[in-house]
A and B are shown apart, each in its own frame.
Chain A
Amino acid sequence: MIMAKAKTNLRNWVFGLPALLLVLLFIVVPYLNIVVMSFRNTSMSAPYAPGFTFDNYTRVLGDLYYLVLLRDTLFFALLTTVLCFVLAFPVAFHLARTKSRFQGLLYAGVLSPLLTGVVIRCFGWIVLLSNNGIVNQLLAYGGLGPYRLMYNHTGVTIALVHVFLPFMILPIMNSVQAIDPRLEEAARTLGASRTSVFRRVLLPLTLPGIQSGVILVFVLSASAYVIPLLLGQGQVQTVPTIVVQQLLGSFLWPFGAALALTLSVSVLFLVSTFALSTIRSMRRLA
């Protein structure tokens, strides 16, 4: 009898095994390999040289250029997150609560940018923001500008906010939709004004969605590569753009690995701090 049960379980694992092997072989092992790579010696003629060293990390953490790069990448990721939140919040609420017959269309409107791919969206911003792009042309009619909206952090941030906005809208919207409307009604019957209801009932209950959105957008913008590449056109460098340059351009794989891991660890640290600090307010909701 015990034999029969074990056989069924073993046979069932066949279903889950291919996916598990896929993740093991092409995620777990390669990621561990990055860590190993970051400790290897660099070489001029090949991706890496034999032997191991701490040099890569000393370079990353010792050279001011890279520390500033790290700080800037994290800073603008944070800025992007804040801006996304400010823009997403009203839209998410509206989308969750609206009873208009266009709700489906509006929802599609938020989703459709996600279907078009980051290169195309950046392309659109290039057309809009470059020195003789549409925005500057419009401003010229009013006698203003031209302003440098591209090739700098302004353009990159605008594009970052644009690309990752849906990732902030959707989790918040889901959170708001999950709130039982009867909670609001109960609060109103107990004498709460609309602002009180919002501040003390709705806002706390959307916290999980806000948390998800914030973490998602922060991680995405810190690790963004294509957006700074296209909107910065070499004038703006972030850790990801430098890392890819090290890998594809200079062929300095170990150093690139160390730099990438340093960014990842910093992001992980910040995200964990954020998650832990909000855990108390989340716990009160459980």
Chain B
Amino acid sequence: MSRLTIHELTKAFMAFVAVKDVNLEVADGEFLSLLGPSGCGKTTTLRCVAGLEDPTSGKILFGDKDVTHLPPERRHIGMVFQNYALFPHMTVVENVKFGLDMKGITGAEAQRRMTSVMEMVQLSHLQDRHPRQLSGGQQQRVALARALVIEPTLLLLDEPLANLDAKLREEMRFFIRSLQQRVGITTLYVTHDQAESMTMSDRIVVMFGGYIHQVGSPQDIYFRPATKEVANFIGHSNLLPGKVLDEHDGIVSVQTAFGVVQSRALQKWKSGSPVTVMVRPETLRLTAGSYPNALPGRIVAQHFLGNIVDYRVALADDTMVMIQSLGGQTHATGDAINVIVDPEKTWLLP
């Protein structure tokens, strides 16, 4: 039985529909990210799970218990907010203890939990400070401690690292993930940062415009995106439109405006159907010489980025593709060049 089930969730604010028919199942102990651009509905979905928003329709279940209309204080969740939401008039200790007070956990048990959680977040020495005396990273850890000390069924995080600087963000990523694995708590994590979701999650849910576009592991999302939006959002990709010519031994040939491209396909494609070939820049190779099935083109620009070189190549019909190669090869801008496409590394999108 999954720890969290979201069934046909829809949430509308007056005329604007923020979340549309979202279905999701989260396994026990899993770290799941909700990823997407601002306004895609990921935060609204999280808030419905928390009970801070009332769903317009649909069901939310914790295990086999229907919590759809249960107020937040009865759901036994732990939530970490983007700006930490620490109580300014209380010390660190009072903040963390708040949830225990609310649930009537006192005495030795409370003490035990407090000591253990403060140690986990490494803040035992700052117990009597007020939030305004702490740095952003420290405040974040207090927020985590406060959410975890009540031993909730679910941990919900709403873009918790958005207000931290880049270096701290990277450190905190590992900190949160290892903490989560240690405690083994089922976690729902909202972010718009794809690197964050890729490094931390067991599975990623990619959302656009209120809909779920894809649910899968980081590898699935990266190598086998379900839609063009997902392909565009994660990393860089070249999207080449064309028509299916034929299929042969699992390799599909696609006719494009600048030549024929071949791709391995995992499903059947009908001859003549329109298709988009997705090719990641790092899977393309350039060669001055000839190569079977290579696409002819011309280097229009190149940028040296340190570990890689970024090329912009114009193909036969002036379609631009982006190619990234590790340093070593040297081609001059303006050179005629051939682009080698590896059929094992391409992906077809409808």
Contacts and interface: CB of A to CB of B under 8 A. Distances in A.
Do A's and B's CB atoms come within 8 Å in the complex? yes
Interface string A1-24: 100110000000000000000000
Contacts of B56: 1
A73 B54 CA distance: 57
Nearest to B69: A4
Nearest to A2: B56
Contacts of A1: 54-57, 69
Interface string B177-220: 00000000000000000000000000000000000000000000
B281 to A, nearest CB: 40
A4 B56 CA distance: 11
Interface in B311-337: none
A5 B69 CA distance: 10
Interface residues of A, number: 3
Contacts of A4: 54, 69
Interface string B49-63: 000001111000000
A5 to B, nearest CB: 6
A5 B57 CA distance: 12
Contacts of A5: 54
Interface in A4-50: 4-5
Interface in B66-98: 69
Nearest to B56: A1
A1 B10 CA distance: 13
Contacts of B69: 1, 4
B105 to A, nearest CB: 29
Nearest to B55: A1
Contacts of B54: 1, 4-5
Nearest to B68: A1
A202 to B, nearest CB: 34
B263 to A, nearest CB: 47
A4 B54 CA distance: 9
Nearest to A4: B69
Contacts of B55: 1
B57 to A, nearest CB: 8
A8 to B, nearest CB: 8
Contacts of B57: 1
A187 to B, nearest CB: 33
A272 B54 CA distance: 44
Interface in A114-164: none
B72 to A, nearest CB: 13
B145 to A, nearest CB: 32
B52 to A, nearest CB: 13
Interface string B28-59: 00000000000000000000000000111100
Nearest to A8: B54
A4 B70 CA distance: 11
B66 to A, nearest CB: 12
A4 B69 CA distance: 9
A44 B57 CA distance: 69
Interface in A201-257: none
B346 to A, nearest CB: 47
A5 B54 CA distance: 8
A5 B55 CA distance: 10
B340 to A, nearest CB: 52
A106 to B, nearest CB: 29
A109 B307 CA distance: 65
A5 B56 CA distance: 10
Nearest to A5: B54
B237 to A, nearest CB: 40
A201 to B, nearest CB: 34
A5 B53 CA distance: 11
A4 B55 CA distance: 11
A3 to B, nearest CB: 10
Interface string A149-190: 000000000000000000000000000000000000000000
A2 B57 CA distance: 10
Nearest to B58: A1
Interface string B112-146: 00000000000000000000000000000000000
B82 to A, nearest CB: 25
A1 B9 CA distance: 13
A4 to B, nearest CB: 6
A17 B56 CA distance: 27
A263 to B, nearest CB: 43
A1 B66 CA distance: 14
B38 to A, nearest CB: 25
A1 B69 CA distance: 8
A260 to B, nearest CB: 43
Given A1-B55, A1-B57, A4-B54, 5 more contacts: A1-B54, A1-B56, A1-B69, A4-B69, A5-B54
8 contacts: A1-B54, A1-B55, A1-B56, A1-B57, A1-B69, A4-B54, A4-B69, A5-B54
Shortest 8 CB-CB distances between A and B: which pairs? A4-B69, A5-B54, A1-B69, A4-B54, A1-B54, A1-B57, A1-B55, A1-B56
